[in-house]
RNA sequence: GAGUCGGUAGCUCAGCUGGUAGAGCAGCAGACUUUUAAUCUGCGGGUCCUGGGUUCGAUCCCCAGCCGACUCACCA
């Protein structure tokens, strides 16, 4: 951060000095203007400003051209100066608030002596309040013709002024406040994210689900396979971890009689960062007593369709078009069309692809897809091994620390092959169900086929959007799967972290139930056509800036 | 973790074979009461990411590091 020059003493308020500022240092120039505003007896940091109307709402008001003889409505607006056109004794400012942008016209005679002085001390990025008549200029531009000018806050740092806005990815992430102002998609995504979350909550609440909050600080990182963040409680002097999943506490609530329960919460995984991974992210998990994976499948489908319907109207397809400007020069512009109009109802763009969420979604058995794409029965151990080497999927797990290799368990190898060979073909949305049991330690087995777990995942363009089970409620089997370390999985990769209290809870009787997990960030990415998780999270984790 | 690319003025970028850097916008001074990516005249502004090395001389070449992006690996 740039600090105002401390060696130049602040002038006393009485004088009307022009503090010597290095005119090449924009921050110093702005600080000098700040002092001049103070010298005029005006608070450069502003005060309460009541009764202002959002810019978008002002633009909706009926209005006439200013010299038509009729007087337009008087409005008050507050916002940031993002454009300045100085015409001598008249200024045009573009004022931006989170709803939009509007032109303000300020004449020397109209806003008075003090107002005119303040206007001349106004920079791009300052916050101002305007009261005036709303109408149109000769050229038809909706405009507020200022009667009063109120200083609301000085910006001591210069703002990005390039027409094309912020381009540097790092600046966009580190200075998200600027990104929100100068990259319109950032604000749009923030709104769409909330809309999705609200839709999910409304949908579940209306079906009798109870939203709860469970502890972030836990003694055991359970419910998923991931390395946790370690922390420590001082007063109790015990190690704690930040949760990596929501599952086990919510299932305890099933035991406690909350038949339909969900949580939307932050989980933390101490792993790599990529365009699909942030160390903290938001999960939805829900549990519904007396259901199973197929009841959850229906629920998931309805839930997603509700989200798509909520988001669809603000989803756009972009294309560039060439046109000739006033001077006859050929230029390009981007045209945005509502995607529902172009692609059809419930179809949204995803990069150069699209996704059609019209129900019913496709449903396919894991084993059938495996057979179709890999080319052998997933139960056939010898054939799977042969296919693994054909597709160059290693059948051993190498442990770097002990320098040893272990043969992967059959189901682990099957799953690796599925990820490698089948997933890329899953355009979706498609429910893949009936998973190999060994990789699903929290899932109920099919009574008729104990090697199959009653689990589904929802895939869209190779991305896993949802994961659901018929929940395992048999404490004896659950304890056994927890204790069994899968060959071919490292301990860190394993979900098999024993939680004695959870087993005890199951022993008191958890109803048969269906459960669902959805990564909210990935869902928002997909529905808002955002290729990176960093842009659906306002403040993604970045390495601290080195000094 | 590996590879590739990038980091130059407040912002967006250019900079050829190595000779200490330019543009537009922004800023400063001036003109203009209907402009709208305003226009016109003039001016100022750089730790060329950091540290080493090679060289008479490095923004440029070499090495190391920092930060970011992308691809891959990892990943419920």
DSSP result, A393-453: --SEEEETTTTEEEEPPHHHHHHHHIIIIIGGG--SSEEEEEEEGGG-TTBPBPSS-TTEE
CA distance linking residue A423 with residue A282, whole number of Å: 23
Span A217-268, pLDDT tens digits: 998 888 888 888 889 999 999 999 999 999 999 999 999 999 999 999 999 9
By C-alpha to C1' distance, B67 is nearest to A545
How far, in Å, is the CA of A537 from the C1' of nucleotide B56?
A: 54
Instruction: Give pLDDT, residue A127.
Output: 96
**Is the model more confident about A522 or about A386?**
A522
Nucleotide whose C1' lies closest to the alpha carbon of residue A26: B27
**What pLDDT sits at residue A14?**
34
Cα A399–A404–A405 angle (5° rounding)? 80
pLDDT above 80 (res A333): no
> What is the spatial distance, in angstroms and rounded to an integer, between the CA atom of A97 and the C1' atom of B52?
49
Name the pLDDT band for A8 (thresholds 50, 70, 90).
very low
Cα–Cα distance, A54 to A145 (Å, whole number): 16
| Res. A345 pLDDT band, cuts 50 70 90 | confident
CA A476 – C1' B74 distance (Å)?
Answer: 33
Q: Give the closest residue to B30 (Cα–C1′).
A: A88
Q: Does residue A7 surpass a pLDDT of 60? A: no
CB atoms within 10 A of CB A101: 16
* pLDDT reading at A162 higher than 80: no
Q: Which of A197-206, A266-275, A322-331, A361-370 is the most confident on average?
A: A197-206
Q: How far is the CA of A542 from the C1' of B9 (A)?
A: 26
Nucleotides of B under 7 A from a protein CB: 1, 6, 10-13, 24-28, 31-39, 44-46, 66-76
> pLDDT, tens digit, for every residue of A43-74?
999 999 999 999 999 999 998 888 877 788 99
Mean pLDDT of all residues belonging to chain A: 85
A351 CA – B50 C1', rounded, Å: 38
Nucleotide nearest to A90 (CA to C1'): B33
Q: Is the pLDDT of residue A428 over 50?
A: yes
pTM: 0.87
pLDDT, average across residues A498-523: 91
Q: Which nucleotide is nearest to A166 (CA to C1')?
A: B11
Q: Residue A491: is its pLDDT beyond 90? A: no
Interatomic separation, CA of residue A275 and C1' of nucleotide B74, rounded (Å): 13
What does each C-alpha distance from A60 to A63, A135, A147, A187, A409 come to in angstroms?
Answer: 9, 11, 20, 21, 65
* A172 nearest nucleotide via C1' and CA: B68
3-class secondary-structure state, position A330: strand
pLDDT the model gives residue A99: 94
Residue A19 has pLDDT above 50, yes or no: no
Please spell the DSSP secondary structure of A265-306, one letter per residue.
EEEE--S--BTTB-SEEEEEEEEEET--HHHHHHHHHHHHHH
Q: What is the mean pLDDT of residues A378-394?
A: 79
Residue nearest to nucleotide B29 (CA to C1'): A23
- The whole-angstrom separation of Cα A286 and Cα A441 is 18
DSSP A486: P
Distance A162 CA to B24 C1' (A): 9
Looking at the predicted structure, is the pLDDT value of residue A212 above 90?
Answer: yes
The residue behind tokens 């009485």 is: A14
**Reported confidence tier of residue A331, pLDDT bands at 50, 70, 90:** low
The pLDDT tens digits for A106-144 are: 999 999 999 999 999 999 999 999 999 999 998 899 999
Site of tokens 């960093």: A534
The nt closest to A393 (CA vs C1′) is B73
pLDDT of residue A11: 35
Looking at per-residue pLDDT, the higher value among A35 and A1 belongs to: A35
The pair of structure tokens assigned to A385 is 């091994």
A76 burial level (CB within 10 Å; 0-12, 13-18, 19+): middle
Q: Can you give the pLDDT at residue A12?
A: 34
Question: Given this model, what pLDDT does residue A324 score?
Answer: 52
């Amino acid at each position: 951060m740039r600090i105002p020059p401390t060696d130049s003493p602040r002038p006393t308020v009485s004088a009307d000095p022009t503090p010597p500022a290095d005119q090449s240092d924009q921050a110093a120039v702005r600080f000098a203007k700040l002092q001049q505003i103070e010298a005029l007896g005006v608070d450069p940091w502003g005060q309460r400003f009541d009764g202002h109307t959002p810019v978008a709402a002002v633009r909706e008001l009926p209005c006439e051209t200013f010299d038509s003889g009729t007087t337009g409505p008087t409005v008050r607006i507050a916002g940031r100066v993002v454009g300045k056109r100085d015409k001598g004794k008249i200024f045009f400012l573009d004022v931006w608030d989170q709803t939009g942008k509007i032109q303000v016209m300020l004449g020397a005679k109209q806003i008075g002596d003090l107002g005119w002085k303040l206007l001349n001390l106004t920079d791009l990025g300052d916050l101002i309040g305007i009261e005036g008549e709303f109408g149109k200029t000769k050229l038809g531009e909706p405009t507020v013709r200022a009667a009063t000018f109120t200083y609301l806050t000085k910006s001591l740092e210069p703002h990005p002024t390039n027409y094309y806005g912020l381009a540097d990815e790092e600046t966009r992430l580190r200075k998200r406040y600027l990104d929100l102002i100068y990259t319109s998609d950032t604000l749009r995504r923030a709104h769409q994210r909330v809309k999705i979350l609200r839709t999910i909550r409304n949908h579940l609440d209306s079906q009798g689900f109870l939203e709860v909050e469970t502890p972030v600080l836990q003694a055991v990182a359970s419910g998923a396979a991931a390395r946790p963040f370690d922390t420590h409680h001082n007063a109790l002097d015990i190690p704690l971890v930040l949760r990596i999943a929501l599952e086990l506490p919510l299932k305890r609530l099933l035991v406690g009689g909350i038949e339909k329960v969900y949580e939307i919460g932050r989980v933390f995984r101490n792993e790599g960062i990529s365009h699909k991974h942030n160390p903290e992210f938001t999960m939805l998990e829900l549990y519904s007593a007396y259901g199973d994976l197929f009841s959850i499948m229906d629920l998931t489908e309805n839930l997603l369709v509700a989200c798509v319907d909520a988001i669809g109207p603000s989803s756009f397809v972009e294309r560039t078009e060439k046109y000739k400007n006033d001077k006859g020069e050929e230029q390009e512009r981007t045209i945005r069309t509502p995607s529902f109009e172009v692609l059809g109802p419930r179809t949204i763009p995803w990069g150069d692809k699209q996704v059609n969420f019209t129900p019913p979604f496709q449903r396919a058995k894991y084993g059938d897809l495996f057979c179709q794409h890999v080319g052998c029965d997933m139960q056939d151990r010898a054939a799977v091994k042969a296919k693994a080497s054909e597709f160059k999927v290693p059948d051993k797990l190498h442990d770097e620390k002990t320098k040893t290799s272990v043969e992967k368990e059959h189901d682990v190898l099957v799953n690796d092959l599925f990820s490698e060979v089948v997933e890329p073909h899953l355009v979706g949305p498609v429910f893949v169900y009936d998973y190999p049991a060994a990789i699903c330690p929290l899932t109920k087995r099919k009574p008729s086929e104990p090697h199959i777990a009653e689990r589904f995942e929802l895939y869209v363009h190779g991305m896993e959007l949802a994961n659901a089970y018929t929940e395992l409620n048999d404490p004896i089997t659950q304890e056994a799967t927890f204790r069994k370390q899968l060959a071919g999985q490292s301990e860190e990769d394993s979900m098999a972290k024993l939680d004695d209290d959870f087993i005890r809870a199951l022993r008191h009787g958890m109803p048969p139930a269906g459960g669902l997990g959805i990564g909210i960030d990935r869902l928002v990415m997909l529905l808002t056509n955002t290729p990176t998780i960093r842009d659906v999270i306002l403040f993604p984790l970045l390495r601290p800036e080195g000094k």
